[in-house]
Chain A
Amino acid sequence: MPGKLGHFFLLLSLVCSVGATVCYFLSVQTTRKMGSEPWQNLALTSTDVQWKKLARIFFFTEIISVVAVFVFLFYIISHHLFEYKYAWQHSSKSLEARYLLSCFWEGQEGSFMLWSIWHCVLGGIFIWKEKEWEAPVMTVVAFAQILLATMLLGIHLGDWKIGSNPFVLMRNSGLLDAAPIFHNADGTLRADYLESLKDGNDLNPLLQNYWMTIHPPVLFLGFASTIIPFAFAIAGLWQKRFTEWTKAALPWALFSAGVLGLGIMMGAAWAYESLNFGGYWAWDPVENASLVPWLVLVAGVHTLVIFRHTGNALRTTYLFFILAFVLVLYSTYLTRSGELQDTSVHAFTGEGITVWHLRVLLFIFMLPAIILFIVRYKQIPFVAKEEETSSREFWMFVGSLVLFLAALIIIGMTSIPVVNRIIAFFSGKEKLFQPLAVGDNVAYAYNRIQIFVAIILGTFTGFGMYLKYKSTGKVFLKKLIVPTIAGLVVAAIILAFGNINYNENGFGYMAAVWVAVVAATYSLIANGAYIFSGQKGKLKKAGGTIAHFGFATLLLGILVSSSKKEVLSYNTSGIFMPLDEKNKVVGNLGENLTLIKGMQMDMGKYWVTYDRDSLDVSKGDKWFYYLNFKRKDGKDEFQLKPNAFVNHKGDMGLSANPDAKHYLTYDIFTYITSLPTKNSTEDTATFKERTAAVGDTIFYSKGFMTLDNVVVNPQNTKYNFTAADTALMAYITVHSKEGPTYQSRPVLQVKNNQSQFFVDSVFSQNLAIAFTGFEDKKIKLQVKESNSILDFITVKAYKFPFINLVWLGTIIMVLGFFISSVHRRERKKMESTRPGAKPQVVSRKVQV
């Protein structure tokens, strides 16, 4: 029932979005026919206003239906209605309540819905606040809603399947067809088939992290909001009001850049906390795909600001805003079509929603937008005069171009699998061109190009704010001297004492890192100083400077934390050196270190002991491993609890989550790379019989043990024998060669004339000891040394210095965007209400 209602609202939302699109479109078209400057026509009864009224009714119904769809799907998931495929596939009964929302965006359908919801929210606010631009912008938004709705349609037209319905039932999904237990002997579905579907498939354990509850909504708000600047640009081209939209668009573009930036970095925080990248960024295609639209959008924001102040760069602004949105769609295609399966750790396969559908989504926006841009290009006003090199806009423009080029390079490298497909498609045979791939060191391939982007942007953002639009006088240039010197001095101190010796990729790269550190430090100090010297501490107006200050902090954080990242778990214990068959050391020291339970291991500045493990009872298969870290100088001690799902929901293997100890200036970060597979290796070692009297010594390969005592019917926490039992316990002390001693307590019990023995193990010594009987006045012991009883974990551990700079920088930068957005909006209001303001921006108040 909730499924049928849900699907009804899905269809309703499709119909409404079509209605809204058509009505808004007609509203714009009728306005255009009515004269040269019809938007100043205040007649309330004109056709365009009536179309707009109708369009609003459609769009509000659309909002209601999308919310209804969301509510119904959430009802299905939260009530564990496993009759529905979506609930079965993405949730389970043991899932904590706070992750129920995450189930939404694990599947393709849910994440498209999230996108659709944000369009509704943004659209609603837009209708409320931006009456002047409502009709053309909302035409674009409503059109996007049509396409998103078709993604969830789930209708078959012949061989074509359009969209994927999230409300599909298990029995209709085709999944049960091949599973015999759901069927009667004659092949029909059993009436009680739901009895076999008592629990769901659960949410991917990697996504069971609180970041996964908040990161996707923020990221999707970022993606969804890029449509607003895009739609403004389209509106300008469409209505031939080439310049008027820029003032209204700027706050929206700033907001979008802020949210998208925040969403991306939340994803980085999630990766840092729950993925085993060994860091927060891995140049994974999915990350790149969200970064690239942001870079282009930020470039667009800068060119728009240039236009607002000088009249330059309008054409570029059009291009950047159009491309930012098109790149969001392209990213959607890349990550969801399955093109990137081989190069990304977390791309979808493209099952459910077809690849062609995603291609349509991309081209249906890209082609008309690009064509419109080209056709109207010559009519877009531009300033023929060259900018002066001492002007602010000159450097802003160059900086924007650098951002744009950086974005092009990243998306180019990410798209290599697509390029291969296209080449194969046109040449007909794959072997004509050798398929290309990003080589040796993926991160380095990106970093060594982006490091120059960092240097340029660091430097530009450093002095940019001190320049004036149009032309900067010498007086202003003088203001630059103090912060520049201060920046250079601080950077020199960081380099001299910071020990940034990142030598892995040669001296040239290390030198580039140094220069980038200087640039970032300079920008940090220059922008920090400008808030006070240039903006006199008025934070409300200083949004741009704050964003640059945050960006510089982020940049410095990235540079320092990645170039000073230390591997703690280097395998230097001697026993585990990487040797080849001829016992020669091969390659680098590995980064994995095996910790044996109870044994103290050497890890850089720390002694680390794998103390114990415990099972998370509520989840059933999530294990926590307690590692005690002790600094060698004795000044600090702490415990880390990396965890892993072992054999989760029938999946073989483990899925591990890292744990980190946060300090102000660094993090200690560790995760499990391997666990022993219980009982999988044949235990070839056998028990060997030894006899001993109390006080005797028995040798084994790693030391010796002494039999201290034999006790009748012992009482302790493990055994609770009574007078009715006949049980004996041997007290054995094991002295290992390394120094530590261990206690072993094997037990022999005689019951009904049958003897039974309980083996005791000393894990760290690979020892299993059994007390099996008597011989003369001695006791018989069975001793086994083997590998399979060993309890150990293999981990990697890193020290990330100044990782907090990355997060702090992000927060400051995003705040800067928001402050700027609010400020621009207030300024727009003030200007438009001020008498005698520029005539073309008089907003038209339409009462509906």
Chain B
Amino acid sequence: MSFFIKDLTTEETFSTAQKKTGKFVVIKAKLDKATPIEYDAVKNPNLTVFYAVDNSGQRRKVVYNNAKLTDMERSESLALNGVMRGDYFECKTIQTKCPSKYKDDPKAAQKNLPTASNAK
């Protein structure tokens, strides 16, 4: 059983993760859309830096050593899987929750309705 438990981790916030620096955790957060996502594929296609706000309202820098996820800007929330490293969170994988993936979601469908500007 411990063999199985070993692979489990806990959901944290940035501040509780801070106390567990170096331990792998999951943090549910939202992308801080006010700050642009830094990703320059020409300089380094494997580095994405952005800011995220967790459920307790804390904002931290997040470093993701991979290409920027294509649907990140329109994500509603992010599950950040990784390790707290001092003042930033290093992400190994990110799950995005995007409205577009869920076409049954009426809110998302509404967005796709024509508006006065493009309905011609």
* Residue numbers in B under 8 Å from A89 (CB-CB): 103, 109
Say whether B103 contacts A204, CB under 8 Å.
yes
Interface-located stretch among A28-36, A346-354, A531-539, A799-807: A346-354
- Docked Cα-Cα span, A186 to B86, in Å, equals 58
* Residue numbers in B under 8 Å from A442 (CB-CB): 93
- Docked Cα-Cα span, A576 to B39, in Å, equals 13
Whose C-beta in chain A lies nearest to the C-beta of B90? A587
CB distance from A647 to the nearest CB of B (A): 11
Say whether A437 contacts B95, CB under 8 Å.
no
B58 in contact (CB, < 8 A): no
A107 in contact (CB, < 8 A): yes
Q: Provided the pairs A196-B119, A438-B9, A590-B45 are in contact, do residues A108 and B114 lie with their beta carbons within 8 angstroms?
A: no
Q: Provided the pairs A89-B103, A409-B4 are in contact, do residues A676 and B41 lie with their beta carbons within 8 angstroms?
A: yes
Interface-located stretch among A130-138, A170-178, A368-376: A170-178
* Residue numbers in A under 8 Å from B67 (CB-CB): 592, 673-674, 794, 796
Q: A590-B44, A590-B45, A792-B41 are in contact. List 14 more A-B contacts (CB 8 A).
A: A181-B116, A181-B119, A197-B114, A343-B95, A349-B102, A435-B11, A437-B9, A439-B9, A592-B41, A594-B42, A652-B74, A655-B71, A656-B70, A674-B68
A659 in contact (CB, < 8 A): no
- Which residue, B46, B70, B73, B114, has most C-beta atoms of chain A within 10 A? B46
- Docked Cα-Cα span, A621 to B92, in Å, equals 31
- Docked Cα-Cα span, A48 to B56, in Å, equals 65
Q: Provided the pairs A175-B113, A578-B65, A656-B70 are in contact, do residues A651 and B100 lie with their beta carbons within 8 angstroms?
A: yes
Say whether A592 contacts B115, CB under 8 Å.
no
- Docked Cα-Cα span, A652 to B72, in Å, equals 9
Say whether A440 contacts B24, CB under 8 Å.
yes
Q: Provided the pairs A591-B46, A592-B67 are in contact, do residues A440 and B9 lie with their beta carbons within 8 angstroms?
A: yes
* Residue numbers in A under 8 Å from B7 (CB-CB): 413, 438-440, 444-445
Whose C-beta in chain A lies nearest to the C-beta of B112? A201
4 residue pairs, one from A and one from B, having the closest CB atoms: A590-B46, A439-B9, A445-B7, A673-B67
CB distance from A640 to the nearest CB of B (A): 18
CB distance from B99 to the nearest CB of A (A): 9
- Docked Cα-Cα span, A391 to B119, in Å, equals 73
A56 in contact (CB, < 8 A): no
Whose C-beta in chain B lies nearest to the C-beta of A348? B104
A233 in contact (CB, < 8 A): no
- Docked Cα-Cα span, A90 to B12, in Å, equals 37
* Residue numbers in A under 8 Å from B77 (CB-CB): 342
Say whether A436 contacts B112, CB under 8 Å.
no
Judged by DSSP, the binding face of A is loop
A residues lining the B interface (CB < 8 Å):
89-90, 106-108, 173-176, 178-181, 196-197, 201, 204, 341-343, 345-346, 348-349, 351-352, 409, 412-413, 416, 434-442, 444-445, 449, 571, 576-579, 586-594, 596, 649-656, 673-674, 676, 787, 790, 792, 794, 796
Say whether A90 contacts B42, CB under 8 Å.
no
* Residue numbers in B under 8 Å from A174 (CB-CB): 106
Say whether B112 contacts A90, CB under 8 Å.
no
Whose C-beta in chain B lies nearest to the C-beta of A181? B116
B62 in contact (CB, < 8 A): no
Say whether A437 contacts B115, CB under 8 Å.
no
- Docked Cα-Cα span, A411 to B106, in Å, equals 30
- Docked Cα-Cα span, A417 to B103, in Å, equals 22
* Residue numbers in A under 8 Å from B68 (CB-CB): 674
Whose C-beta in chain A lies nearest to the C-beta of B97? A341
Whose C-beta in chain B lies nearest to the C-beta of A681? B40
Whose C-beta in chain A lies nearest to the C-beta of B101? A346
- Docked Cα-Cα span, A796 to B68, in Å, equals 13
B18 in contact (CB, < 8 A): no
Say whether A351 contacts B41, CB under 8 Å.
no
What are 22 A-B contacts defined by CB distance under 8 Å? Answer: A89-B109, A179-B113, A196-B114, A204-B100, A342-B79, A342-B95, A342-B97, A348-B102, A351-B102, A351-B105, A351-B106, A440-B9, A442-B93, A449-B3, A449-B4, A571-B46, A578-B44, A592-B66, A594-B45, A649-B112, A674-B67, A674-B70
Say whether B112 contacts A590, CB under 8 Å.
no
* Residue numbers in A under 8 Å from B109 (CB-CB): 89, 175, 201
Instruction: Mark out the residues of chain B between 1 and 59 whose CB falls within 8 Å of any chain A CB in the assembled complex.
Output: 3-4, 7-12, 24, 26, 28, 39-47
* Residue numbers in B under 8 Å from A651 (CB-CB): 71, 74, 100
CB distance from B98 to the nearest CB of A (A): 9
- Docked Cα-Cα span, A346 to B102, in Å, equals 8
Q: Provided the pairs A676-B41, A790-B42 are in contact, do residues A587 and B10 lie with their beta carbons within 8 angstroms?
A: no
- Docked Cα-Cα span, A543 to B4, in Å, equals 36
* Residue numbers in B under 8 Å from A649 (CB-CB): 112
Say whether A655 contacts B44, CB under 8 Å.
no
- Docked Cα-Cα span, A577 to B43, in Å, equals 9
Whose C-beta in chain B lies nearest to the C-beta of A434? B10
* Residue numbers in B under 8 Å from A178 (CB-CB): 110
- Docked Cα-Cα span, A644 to B74, in Å, equals 17
CB distance from A569 to the nearest CB of B (A): 9
Other-chain residue from A197, A201, A436 in contact with B103 (beta carbon distance below 8 A): A201
- Docked Cα-Cα span, A434 to B40, in Å, equals 37
Q: Provided the pairs A437-B9, A655-B70 are in contact, do residues A179 and B4 lie with their beta carbons within 8 angstroms?
A: no
- Docked Cα-Cα span, A180 to B28, in Å, equals 35
CB distance from B101 to the nearest CB of A (A): 7
Say whether A437 contacts B110, CB under 8 Å.
no
Whose C-beta in chain B lies nearest to the C-beta of A796? B67
- Docked Cα-Cα span, A201 to B115, in Å, equals 13
* Residue numbers in B under 8 Å from A652 (CB-CB): 71, 73-74
Say whether A181 contacts B97, CB under 8 Å.
no
* Residue numbers in A under 8 Å from B12 (CB-CB): 434
